[in-house]
């Protein structure tokens, strides 16, 4: 069967927006479908469903794609600056580590959420809604504590 971006049985009852608009909405932390509801409940936790259009956003699993894209972008933005500073001033390695490692951590932390939002929007636009591999994975349940537990 040839691969198509259109699903045979669409999971959403609304037409998704163009990919650029969807990714921009996702990057801004908004529902990629309607642009109104929140996409995240916290830093990176995706809401179960959009509060506005009820799109089942929580079923999508981006897994390692957002960190991969985040590291890719941060590396391409910061590594030229690292090489430029090294070529101009040749600072000691401890100074490189003291400056660049925290800067990489800060940039990656700031980029991860919008990149995850854009990745989820891209997945939604491709029709990857989370039901490709069966039923959605249930949320972990915290173990119950009894008074006798240490």
- Site of interaction with Zn ion (CB under 5 A): 31, 33-34, 37, 50, 52-53, 55
* Residue among 25 and 74 whose Cβ is closer to Zn ion: 25
Burial 39-73, CB ≥16 within 10 A → b, else e: bbeeeeebbeebeebbbbbbbbebeeebbebbbee
* Residue among 49 and 85 whose Cβ is closer to Zn ion: 49
Q: How far is the CB of 127 from Zn ion (least distance, A)?
A: 17
* Residue among 7 and 96 whose Cβ is closer to Zn ion: 7
- Least Cα distance to 120 among 36, 29, 42, 34 occurs for 29
Q: How far is the CB of 24 from Zn ion (least distance, A)?
A: 14
Provide DSSP, 29-91: TB-TTTSSSBSBSSSSPBPSS-TTT---GGG---TTHHHHHHHHHHHHHHHHHHHHHHHHH--
* Residue among 74 and 121 whose Cβ is closer to Zn ion: 121
Q: How far is the CB of 30 from Zn ion (least distance, A)?
A: 8
């Amino acid at each position: 069967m040839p691969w198509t971006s259109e699903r045979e049985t669409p999971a959403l009852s609304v037409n998704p927006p163009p990919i650029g608009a969807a990714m921009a909405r996702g990057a801004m932390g908004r529902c990629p479908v309607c642009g109104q509801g929140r996409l995240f409940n916290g830093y990176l936790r995706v809401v179960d469903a959009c509060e506005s259009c009820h799109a089942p956003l929580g079923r999508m699993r981006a897994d390692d794609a957002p960190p991969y894209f985040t590291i890719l972008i941060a590396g391409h933005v910061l590594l030229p600056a690292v090489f430029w500073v090294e070529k101009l001033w040749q600072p000691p390695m401890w100074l490189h580590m003291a400056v660049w490692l925290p800067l990489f951590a800060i940039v990656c932390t700031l980029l991860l959420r919008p990149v995850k939002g854009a990745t989820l929007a891209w997945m939604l636009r491709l029709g990857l809604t989370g039901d490709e591999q069966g039923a959605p994975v249930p949320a972990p349940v915290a173990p119950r504590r009894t008074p006798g537990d240490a």
